[in-house]
Amino acid sequence: MLKMPLSRAMKLIAHGLEEEKRAQYYQWWLARYPMYTKEDYESFDEFYGKVQPKTINLDHRPKDEIMAELLGQDFEERG
């Protein structure tokens, strides 16, 4: 790991952390498993999808372009 590129090492670390977090959520799901009924059962993937934080999409456009869009919408809404 010491001789690989930094970006590759960071990806491996991030993947390891994600797997560790998934294992913790799996333990949480297993603790809840005995309490599920036929009506409210959810698979681990469904549970994991609900407890995962939503991803944030960043807007990489220049500030001027974003401001022009916002101001244009503001004027359209008013008039």
Q: Of 74, 15, 22, 71, give the one whose Cα is nearest residue 51.
A: 22
Instruction: Say yes or no to pLDDT of 24 above 60.
Output: yes
Q: Report, as an integer, the average pLDDT of 35-48.
A: 93
Instruction: Say yes or no to pLDDT of 78 above 60.
Output: no
Query: pTM of the prediction?
Result: 0.59
Q: Residue 28: how many CB atoms within 10 A of its CB?
A: 14
How many domains is the chain built from? Answer: 1
Give residue 59's pLDDT band: very low, low, confident or very high (50, 70, 90): confident
Residue 1, domain member (yes or no):
no
Residue 17, domain member (yes or no):
yes
Residue 43, domain member (yes or no):
yes
Range of the domain at 28: 6-78
Q: Residue 42: how many CB atoms within 10 A of its CB?
A: 13
Instruction: Say yes or no to pLDDT of 3 above 60.
Output: yes
